[in-house]
Amino acid sequence: MERKVEDILSGESPREDLDKEVANDTRKWGEHILKILKLAKPHKLSSDAYTALWTRIEETTKKASQRDRQIRIFKYSAVACALIALSFLFWNIQDRNAPYDSLLYSAMNNQNLITEEEEVSIRRGDGRQTLISDGEVIDLSLNGRNENWQKKASTFNTLTVPYGKRIEVILPDNSKVWLNAGSQLTFPTVFDADERQVYLEGEGYFDVEGDPKRPFYVHTANMVVKVLGTTFNISSYKDDAFASTVLLSGEIELQGTGETSFEPQILKPGTAAILRKDSKSLSISTEAVEDHISWRQKQLILKNTPLAEIIARLERVYNTDITVESASGANETFSGRLDLTQPLTNLLTTLYNPLEYQLQKEERRIIINKR
Amino acid sequence: MTNHSHIEYWQRFIQGDQEAFRSLYDVYVNSLFSYAIRYCADEEIVKDSIHDLFVDLHRYRSRLNPNVNVKAYLFGSLRRKVAESKKKSINRSISAEDYHFRLGLATEDYITLPDDKENEVLTKLRVEMEKLPHRQKEALYLRFTCDMSYEQVAQIMDISIASCRTFIYRAIKDLRLRMENSKISQLLFIAFLPTRDISK
């Protein structure tokens, strides 16, 4: 019985079935179809494309497995973070330190701005940043016009004053702060009902609005100043060997933080507390209180001030790198008054005798050589 | 290379053997490309899909079945990938273009046989084969060009084995009818000298 070619080819083994096929016509048919399909042109990849495709696959898989590993690490760290966050949460329920933690966190996050920014700027909690033009008083008080500042209660603002600038700011509670060059103040948009906390890096002169029910805390790297309503100056520059707090009126309490620990110290008006960072020792002096705050009047009052300290101050105020090639004279001390409205070179020639020293001025850099 | 050693590559690859991964590429990439280019003429899409296929294999290898039919699995996965990227790249208005399969039996690719008469028949047959419905062509290609079993073809095309057999049966039957019709039209051609278009 003659079979149709479609039956044969749709069978389980068409090749063998065709060979058994007796009807020549059917067999020929099947052979033709099979031949055409068998000899269908294979579209091979060119050897370049072959290699390139493999290279691509290899690269992607490598990247992907790295990413997978990162995701895995990320998952673990996310769990760890959650645990830490939780423990902090429980801890803070007892300790009530939460506002300070987030304040510190904001302050640490923005520290790079001191060196990166050219202009005075405020970075808000949501990451938005506003530049502030020179000489403007920043009024962030509740009576101030900047109503939009107060909308988000729990965010922190960081005010950055780069080297060579100074700024005056009115905080939400009407306290005034003058910030010196190279300083940064972090503070909440709205202060808490029972305490006011700010973080200072650098130097600030504070005129705190009196409110006995809401103590004002200035946190710095080495100490905390608790204020009830007073005027004082804090200098806490990272690159200085000391940190100082000078009280002008009222009463403040000093506490050590971090690695610095000393007995809480109550400061009387007209006294200065100076912390030597190397020895972690706190000394109280009644001398030359006004010298510390002379920067506000654009003056630098010197009383046996070491030359190195003067140079460090001038560097910040003028935002200029001062390099003294000869080591001699570094321990020399100076007394007197430097007018900070003068050009820097003029000031330096009063410190370094032009007959003995040569001043070489470059862009933002002064090199002092012994002749 | 026997299929047996291919499953060995597959299993070694699943266990994390990077060399076996490369071997899988070497063994299958040309046949995969050859198949997919018939499905989608855009070489870049095909290469991208092969790339994605191998990257996915590597990424999810711990979840792969070690006792799978490797060739059918790869062909089927690639088919889906190409279909996905075709959907993305071609604007969706050309819905007729969504699925097509070109056998690629063009005459110039074909080895010329000495017998002129047989050659003529084969040329005619090739033309008729290309005119078959796309799914029938795909089934023919996988079954006979790639030498796959009905089970494999069914797995790749995501159809039952029964419909797979039906596709092949219909394709051959259609071909036979068309060829016989064209024989008649050729006779008519001699008798009435009509144009060749009638044969269509």
* Interface touch B106/A41, C-beta < 8 Å: yes
Chain B residues within 8 A (CB-CB) of chain A? 22, 25, 29-31, 33-34, 37-38, 47, 50-51, 54-55, 58-59, 103-106, 109-111, 118, 121-122, 125-126, 129, 140-141, 144-145, 150, 165-166, 168-173, 175-176
Go through B134-157 and write b for each residue having 16 or more CB atoms within 10 A of its CB, e for each that does not.
Answer: ebbbbbbbbbbbbebbbebbbbbb
Nearest Cα residue in chain A from B37: A43
ipTM comes to: 0.80
For residues A107 and A189, state if they share a domain: yes
Question: Mutual orientation of helices B70-89 and B18-39 as an angle, nearest 10°?
Answer: 50
Residue A314 clears pLDDT 90, i.e. is over it: no
Whether residue A87 has pLDDT greater than 70:
no
CB contact under 8 A, A36 and B105: yes
Q: Which of B172, B170, B138 is CA-nearest to residue B155?
A: B138
Q: Which structural domain, as residue segments, surrounds residue A308? A: 298-370
pLDDT band at A32 (very low <50, low <70, confident <90, very high): confident
3-state secondary structure of A305: strand
Are the beta carbons of A36 and B126 separated by less than 8 Å? yes
For residue A211, the domain's CATH number is 2.60.120.1440
The partner residue sitting opposite B34, judged by closest CB among A44, A49, A57, is: A44
Please count the residue pairs, one from chain A and one from chain B, whose beta carbons lie less than 8 angstroms apart. 102
Alpha-carbon span B138 to B36, nearest angstrom: 11
Q: Which long-range contacts (CB under 8 A, 24 or more apart) does A247-250 make?
A: A247/A271, A247/A272, A247/A289, A248/A289, A248/A293, A250/A208, A250/A210
CATH number of the domain within which A353 lies: 3.55.50.30
Judge if A158 and A274 occupy the same domain. yes
The reply to whether A71 and A200 lie within a common domain is no
Q: Do domains B3-98 and B107-199 have the same CATH topology?
A: no
Q: How many CB atoms lie within 10 A of CB A305?
A: 19
CB contact under 8 A, A61 and B111: no
Instruction: State whether CATH 3.40.640.10 applies to domain B107-199.
Output: no
Kindly report the nearest CA distance between residue A32 and chain B, in angstroms: 7
Residue A242 and residue A166 share a domain: yes
Whole-angstrom distance, CA of residue A192 vs CA of residue A198: 11
Domain count, chain A: 4
Please, are residues B179 and B128 in contact by the beta-carbon 8 Å criterion? yes
What's the mean pLDDT in B156-175? 90
Asked if residue A179 and residue A146 are part of one domain, the reply reads: yes
- Both A123 and A32 in a single domain? no
Span B8-62, pLDDT tens digits: 899 999 988 889 999 999 999 999 999 998 888 888 889 999 999 999 999 888 8
Q: In what order do the strands lie in the sheet with A321-324?
A: A321-324, A365-370, A357-362
CATH number of B3-98: 1.10.1740
Which of A268, A289, A310 is the endpoint of a domain? Answer: A289
Establish how many alpha carbons lie within 13 A of residue A109's alpha carbon, considering only the half-sphere containing its beta carbon. 15
CA distance A330 to A308: 6
Q: Looking at the structure, tell me whether residues A255 and A302 fall in a common domain.
A: no
What is the residue extent of each domain of chain B? 3-98, 107-199
Q: Which residues of A touch B176 (CB under 8 A)?
A: 4-6, 29
Q: State pTM to two decimals.
A: 0.46
A185 and A317 part of one domain? no
Across A88-93, average pLDDT? 54
